[in-house]
């Protein structure tokens, strides 16, 4: 007989091994799935994981990893702070949209003036947009005790409507023949979040993501606020006794995650995406939740997890095109990753016991 | 700087190598970037049918690749680049939102030909193509005006862009012609494909008394909602949606991309491809009218087919004056027809339609 037994202490080994095991299990069962679809499993897995990094055209895909991974990491770092303290901001997608709208609107307000001040202003506006949007659920929570999960999630849909309205109205390109979508910021040098070294994929959003990782690491390891976050998540009662102010913590965690999501949106709209359109958001805010957990809510872990998610997206598209795998199979593959992560996570706190239950 | 040079030269070399490879083996590689899943039963489904027709036509001479459900923006740019790097000779990008990415990627691969659907930006190696769906809308409007008993026609709009507004106007003009009492109720779904939202929109319209529902969204959900209601007429959109025939679906507008895809691929094979702007309708066969079912009275069917024939041979233009705009100002004088520029940027309703275009 097999049974689960709670570990007296969470296993350090499993806490780190879980993501690796999850990736291996995903590769194995994903391979089975691809084989069932009539594709060679080894080739499929290699196409997804190997091609973007070391394939013939890696010189193109490696920079793309940065472009795809940066917003994920930036958002996930912000989310992880709240998640650690048990504050659940599920609406990063909405904050990402608002950051993009604020940032783009600021830039477009100056069009066609050229000035080196425009881009920094856009960064501030983007951060503000995300911050304001995240403050709505935060303030409602501390003032009226509303559930931040529901409020932040619902605000995503409000933000989406706002985005559609902006693309069709205020921010619509006056030279766009009536089609929806703003001017392309890539063609407006002062507002363009260009690659710092052309062809490297390094734009300001990537820099911001790396700074956020370091900042979060220092905050959690060294700063009193980081201690407050950790202790609140691990032992809420103890936190209270040690003088943690829960109101301030909610405002900080929600605000910071909104701010970073807003920045991610702003860097995306000014750089890789270029314009505000109805379908500007592609789900980074939701995928970042997976990235945060895949990275064990640890800054370095999130950095790696963001890279891994980006890899499956880029490799997944290559596999679709080269091997004719359906998009749904790639999505199942990505879903497996989270599924196995949560499944193996059980072993951090529990262990398997074989044999008869002993009488205690 | 160094890296950019590397990318540019590598891309160029690969592009050339890709071309050389294709010539040496006589196999032309054609890529398709799809915005939805190939099983959406509407827009993407029909583009994929065009791709399959291409394979059937040319057999071993052609190799097609596709990626489905590609988000507009940087993801689409990456997918196009990847196809170009993998040696595609011709790439069809089949959504309006792929416009700027297509132009960006095309600039990096001057030897690869690109075809962007429904956009307006072209380059030496970027052509555009679209279909005159509004011609089909005229026939739908005619049938709708004849079929409605409540005189309320529901219309599910996707986004308030010229293409959709054109369709609403065309349908309204022809419904009004045969039924002066007809009234249009328009709901904006703000999506091209979302079965749940589309079904909700259809139900709201039916509750408001509509007994004909036209849709400019791609799923079959409104058809199912109409079937449930029992006495509501619908039309297939983008695809035939024949599974709902003969009722509620009494006819349909079908996008037939196959002849165009075959023609353009042939041009690449022959080396005669040039950047063009194609806007074809019923005449050249890019827009087809699905079988008008027996639920439509024989005389109405006959009129509809006559209308179709007159549009196809060019003797009738769906936007022929006298027509006024919604605000009462003049649009077209007696006998005047709308030019393509006006049609392409149409952002107003014609006189008689109530409500505002959201912006």
pLDDT digits over A246-297, tens only?
899 999 999 999 999 999 999 999 999 999 998 899 999 999 998 998 888 9
Phi, psi (rounded to 5 degrees) for A281: -80, 135
Cβ–Cβ pairs < 8 A, chains A and B: 116
Closest-CA residue of chain B to A169: B359
Are the C-beta atoms of A294 and A338 separated by less than 8 Å?
A: yes
What residues are paired with B215 via a beta bridge?
A: B156
Spell out the residues 6+ positions from residue B267 whose beta carbon is closer than 8 angstroms to its own.
B273, B274
Phi, psi (rounded to 5 degrees) for B18: -60, -45
Phi, psi (rounded to 5 degrees) for B178: -100, -10
A324 touches chain B (CB under 8 A): yes
Cα distances (angstroms) measured from residue B176 to each of B142, B164, B188, B346: 8, 18, 21, 19
Q: Is the pLDDT of residue A356 over 70?
A: no
| Whole-angstrom distance, CA of residue A199 vs CA of residue B7 | 7
Q: How does residue B19 score in pLDDT terms, banded at 50, 70 and 90?
A: very low
User: For B159, which of A180, A200, A272 is closest by C-beta distance?
Assistant: A180
pLDDT digits (tens, 9 = 90+) for B170-209: 999 999 999 999 999 999 988 888 899 999 999 999 999 9
Q: Is the pLDDT of residue B1 over 50?
A: no
Could you tell me which of A186, A323, A262 has the C-alpha nearest to residue B107?
A: A186
User: 116-175 in A: which are within 8 Å (CB) of B?
Assistant: 161, 164-165, 168-169, 172
Q: How does residue B25 score in pLDDT terms, banded at 50, 70 and 90?
A: low
Give A158's contacts in chain B (Cβ within 8 Å).
none
pLDDT at A71: 97
Q: Is the pLDDT of residue B4 over 60?
A: no
Burial of B140 (0-12, 13-18, 19+ CB in 10 A): buried
pLDDT digits (tens, 9 = 90+) for B113-145: 999 998 889 999 999 999 999 999 999 999 999
Containing B350, the helix (H) or strand (E) segment is none
| Whole-angstrom distance, CA of residue A4 vs CA of residue A7 | 9
What residues are paired with B320 via a beta bridge?
A: B337
Phi, psi (rounded to 5 degrees) for B332: -130, 135
Are the C-beta atoms of B148 and B206 separated by less than 8 Å?
A: no
Cα distances (angstroms) measured from residue A159 to each of A92, A126, A164, B186, B196: 11, 14, 9, 23, 20
User: For A277, which of B14, B97, B346 is closest by C-beta distance?
Assistant: B97
pLDDT at B209: 94
Q: What is the value of ipTM here, to two decimals? A: 0.86
Among A68-72, A353-357, B161-165, the minimum mean pLDDT is found in A353-357
Sign, CA dihedral B235-B238-B240-B241, equals negative
pLDDT at A357: 57
pLDDT digits (tens, 9 = 90+) for A20-45: 899 899 999 999 999 999 999 999 99
pLDDT at B149: 95
Question: Can you give the three-state secondary structure of chain B, one letter per residue?
Answer: CHHHHHHHHHHHHHHHHHHHHHHHHCCEEEEEECCCCCCCCCHHHHHHHHHHHHHHHHHHHEEEEEECCCCCCHHHHHHHHHHHHCCCCEEEECCHHHHHHHHHHHHHCCCCEEEEECCCCCECCEEEEEECHHHHHHHHHHHHHHHCCCCEEEEEECCCCHHHHHHHHHHHHHHHHHCCCCEEEEEECCCCCCHHHHHHHHHHHHHCCCCEEEECCCCCHHHHHHHHHCCCEEEECCCCCHHHCCCCEEEEEEECCHHHHHHHHHHHHHCCCCCCEEEECCCCCCEEEECCCCCCCHHHHHHHHHHHHHHHCCCCCCCECCEEECCCCEEECCCCECCHHHHHCCCCCECCCCCCCCC
Among A172-181, A217-226, B7-16, B27-36, the minimum mean pLDDT is found in B7-16
**What is the value of pTM for the model shown?**
0.86
What is the nearest CA distance from B208 to chain A, expressed in angstroms?
Answer: 24
Spell out the residues 6+ positions from residue B193 whose beta carbon is closer than 8 angstroms to its own.
B36, B40, B42, B43, B217, B218, B219
A357 or A205: which leads in pLDDT: A205
Helix (H, G, I), strand (E, B) or coil at A127: helix
B246 prior amide bond cis, ω within 30: yes
Give B73's contacts in chain A (Cβ within 8 Å).
272-274, 277, 279-280, 282
Containing A122, the helix (H) or strand (E) segment is helix A118-144
Percent of chain A topping pLDDT 70: 98
| Whole-angstrom distance, CA of residue A72 vs CA of residue B356 | 39
Tell me if A179 and B70 make a contact (CB, 8 A cut-off): no
Tell me if B67 and A327 make a contact (CB, 8 A cut-off): yes
Give A320's contacts in chain B (Cβ within 8 Å).
66-68
What residues are paired with A1 via a beta bridge?
A: none
Mutate to test the interface with A, among B8, B36, B51, B74 (most CBs of A within 10 A): B74
Helices vs strands, H then E, count in chain B: 11, 14
Q: How does residue A11 score in pLDDT terms, banded at 50, 70 and 90?
A: confident
pLDDT at B18: 43
pLDDT digits (tens, 9 = 90+) for B297-310: 999 999 999 999 99
pLDDT digits (tens, 9 = 90+) for B216-244: 998 899 999 999 998 999 999 988 898 89
Helix (H, G, I), strand (E, B) or coil at B108: helix
Buried/exposed A57-96: b ≥16 CB within 10 Å, e otherwise: beebbebbbbbbbbbbbbbbbbbbbbbbbebbbbbbbbbb
Q: How does residue B245 score in pLDDT terms, banded at 50, 70 and 90?
A: confident
B342 or A259: which leads in pLDDT: A259
| Whole-angstrom distance, CA of residue B33 vs CA of residue B47 | 10
What residues are paired with A134 via a beta bridge?
A: none
Q: Is the pLDDT of residue B7 over 80?
A: no
pLDDT at B6: 46
What is the nearest CA distance from B343 to chain A, expressed in angstroms?
Answer: 11
Alpha-carbon B33 to chain mean position:
15
User: Which spans in A223-325 are helix H?
Assistant: 224-234, 236-241, 246-270, 284-294, 299-323
Percent of chain B topping pLDDT 90: 76
pLDDT at B3: 44
| Whole-angstrom distance, CA of residue A84 vs CA of residue A239 | 13
pLDDT at A243: 83
Mean pLDDT rounded to a whole number for chain A? 91
| Whole-angstrom distance, CA of residue A7 vs CA of residue B268 | 66
B322 prior amide bond cis, ω within 30: yes
pLDDT at A358: 55
Sign, CA dihedral A147-A151-A154-A156, equals negative
Q: How does residue B359 score in pLDDT terms, banded at 50, 70 and 90?
A: low
pLDDT at A233: 85
Are the C-beta atoms of A276 and A171 separated by less than 8 Å?
A: yes
pLDDT at A118: 95
Percent of chain B topping pLDDT 70: 93
A180 touches chain B (CB under 8 A): yes
| Whole-angstrom distance, CA of residue A138 vs CA of residue B17 | 56
User: For A282, which of B71, B161, B162 is closest by C-beta distance?
Assistant: B71
Q: Is the pLDDT of residue B154 over 60?
A: yes
| Whole-angstrom distance, CA of residue A130 vs CA of residue A136 | 10
pLDDT at A234: 84
Spell out the residues 6+ positions from residue A20 whose beta carbon is closer than 8 angstroms to its own.
none
* Cα angle value B22/B25/B30 (rounded, 5°): 40
Phi, psi (rounded to 5 degrees) for B30: -120, 125
Q: Is the pLDDT of residue A307 over 90?
A: yes
Tell me if A177 and B72 make a contact (CB, 8 A cut-off): no
| Whole-angstrom distance, CA of residue B195 vs CA of residue B219 | 6
pLDDT at A252: 95
A168 or A203: which leads in pLDDT: A203
Strand-by-strand arrangement of the B212-215 sheet: B183-188, B152-157, B212-215, B233-236, B249-255, B287-290
């Amino acid at each position: 007989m097999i049974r689960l037994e709670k570990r007296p202490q969470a296993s350090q080994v499993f806490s780190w091994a879980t993501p690796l095991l999850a990736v291996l299990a995903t590769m194995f069962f994903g391979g089975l799935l691809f084989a069932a679809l009539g594709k060679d499993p080894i080739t499929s897995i290699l196409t997804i994981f190997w091609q973007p990094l070391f394939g013939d055209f890696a010189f193109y895909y490696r920079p793309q990893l940065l472009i795809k991974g940066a917003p994920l990491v930036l958002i996930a770092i912000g989310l992880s702070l709240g998640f650690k303290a048990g504050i659940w901001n599920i609406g990063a997608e909405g904050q990402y949209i608002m950051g993009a709208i604020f940032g783009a609107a600021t830039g477009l307000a100056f069009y066609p003036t050229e000035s080196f001040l425009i881009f920094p202003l856009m960064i501030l506006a983007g951060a503000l947009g995300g911050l304001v949007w995240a403050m709505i659920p935060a303030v409602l929570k501390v003032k009226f005790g509303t559930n931040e999960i529901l409020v932040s999630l619902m605000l995503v849909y409000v933000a989406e409507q706002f985005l559609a309205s902006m693309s069709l109205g205020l921010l619509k390109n006056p030279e766009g023949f009536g089609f929806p979508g703003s001017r392309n910021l890539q063609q407006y040098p002062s507002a363009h979040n260009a690659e710092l070294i052309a062809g490297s994929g390094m734009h300001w959003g990537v820099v911001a993501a790396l700074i956020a990782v370091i900042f979060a690491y220092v905050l959690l390891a060294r700063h009193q606020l980081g201690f407050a976050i950790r202790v609140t998540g691990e032992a809420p009662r103890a936190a209270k006794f040690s003088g943690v102010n829960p109101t301030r913590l909610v405002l900080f965690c929600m605000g910071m995650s909104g701010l970073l999501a807003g920045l991610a949106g702003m860097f995306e709209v000014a750089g890789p995406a270029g314009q505000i359109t109805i379908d500007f958001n592609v789900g980074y805010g939701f995928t970042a939740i997976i990235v945060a957990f895949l990275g064990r809510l640890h800054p370095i872990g999130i950095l790696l997890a963001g890279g891994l998610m980006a890899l499956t997206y880029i490799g997944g598209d290559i596999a679709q095109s080269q091997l004719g795998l359906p998009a749904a199979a790639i999505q199942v593959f990505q879903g497996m990753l989270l599924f196995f992560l949560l499944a193996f996570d059980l072993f951090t706190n529990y262990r398997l016991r074989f044999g008869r239950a002993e009488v205690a | 700087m160094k890296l950019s040079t590397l990318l540019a030269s590598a891309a160029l070399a690969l592009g050339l190598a890709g071309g050389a490879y294709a010539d040496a083996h006589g196999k032309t590689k054609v890529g398709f970037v799809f915005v939805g899943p190939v099983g959406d039963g509407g827009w993407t489904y029909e583009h994929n049918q065009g791709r399959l027709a291409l394979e059937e036509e040319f057999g071993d001479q052609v190799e097609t690749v596709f990626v489905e459900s590609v988000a507009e923006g940087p993801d689409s740019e990456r997918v196009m680049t990847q196809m170009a790097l993998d040696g595609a000779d011709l790439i069809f990008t089949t959504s309006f939102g792929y416009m700027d990415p297509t132009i960006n990627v095309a600039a990096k691969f001057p030897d690869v030909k690109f075809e962007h659907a429904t956009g307006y930006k072209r380059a030496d190696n970027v052509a555009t193509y679209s279909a005159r769906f509004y011609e089909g809308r005229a026939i739908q409007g005619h049938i709708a005006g004849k079929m409605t008993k409540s005189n309320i026609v529901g219309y599910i709009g996707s986004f308030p862009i010229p293409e959709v507004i054109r369709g609403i106007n065309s349908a309204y003009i022809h419904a009004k012609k045969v039924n002066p009492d007809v009234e249009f109720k328009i709901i904006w779904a703000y999506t091209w494909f979302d079965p749940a939202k589309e079904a909700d929109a259809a139900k709201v319209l039916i509750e408001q008394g509509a007994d004909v529902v036209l849709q400019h969204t791609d799923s079959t959900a409104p058809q199912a909602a109409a079937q449930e209601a029992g006495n509501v007429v619908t039309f297939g959109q983008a695809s035939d949606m024949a599974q709902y025939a003969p009722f509620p679906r009494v006819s349909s507008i079908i996008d037939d991309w196959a002849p165009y895809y075959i023609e353009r691929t042939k041009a690449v094979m022959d080396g005669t491809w040039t950047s063009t702007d194609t806007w074809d309708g019923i005449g050249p066969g890019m827009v087809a009218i699905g079988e008008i079912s027996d639920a439509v009275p024989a005389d109405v069917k006959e009129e509809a087919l006559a209308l179709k024939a007159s549009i196809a041979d060019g003797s009738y233009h769906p936007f022929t004056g006298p027509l006024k705009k919604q605000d009462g100002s003049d649009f077209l004088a007696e006998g005047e027809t709308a030019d393509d520029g006006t049609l392409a940027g149409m952002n107003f309703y014609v006189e008689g339609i109530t409500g505002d275009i959201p912006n």
